[in-house]
Amino acid sequence: IQFAGAVGVANCLGAPQLPVFIATQPAPDKTVPEPFDTVDSILARFADAGNFTTQEVVWLLASHSIAAQDHVDPTIPGTPFDSTPEVFDTQFFVETQLRGTLFPGTGGNQGEVESPLLGEFRLQSDSESRLQTLFTAAFRKMTILGSSEADLIECSEVIGTPPSGDIPPAHLPAGLTMNDIEQACATTPFPSLSADPGPATSVAPV
């Protein structure tokens, strides 16, 4: 799964080239957190499994930038978590702070809360180069979790180089303003972001 994930990430603009080691043992059933678990239980599980810090868990959440859901609401498979699912960028973190107003599918599913955009799925729960570096470090740590690196086979050289190009800075989707932000940390200033021009953003499935 890790190998396939690293290959998939390498197809996305803005993604880092990830290290991959194979021959790790599968995780036992019921040991991977569910999307509807509480934040405290998810952080506790990561800490117990591999001494992951809260910051490292947040770095791993960057993978949601190019991810989609299939099973929380099975009526709308392939629904992305942000408005730029083809780009490894910081939009997932921006759009997590937007006020939820609608459900893209049936709604009311375990682990789902209202989304700010038509076609975007939200689970309950600003430097591009820094995002790449921190995610890569956390991914490497998780890749060798439960194993000795000396016992694994590194296959990083077969992972393709991600495409290069200009990545737009963090922004608000078209049709939204700073008034739509629900800031999580009152003591930390939220950056002032401009919105994309044009009609209100809707997100196509992937």
Annotated binding-site members for heme b: 64
Q: Tell me the binding residues.
A: 64-65, 82, 84, 89
* Lookup: tokens for 87: 């780009």
Least Cα distance to 79 among 68, 87, 90 occurs for 68
Instruction: Check: CB of residue 154 under 8 Å from CB of residue 18.
Output: no
Q: Tell me the binding residues for Ca(2+).
A: 65, 82, 84, 89
What DSSP string describes 79-127?
A: EESSS-TTB-SSHHHHHHTBPP-B-SSS---TTEE-BSSBT--EE----
* Lookup: tokens for 172: 């608000």
Q: ∠ CA(28), CA(46), CA(125), 5° rounding?
A: 105
CA 60 to chain centre: 7
CA distance 113 to 37: 13
CA 20 to chain centre: 19
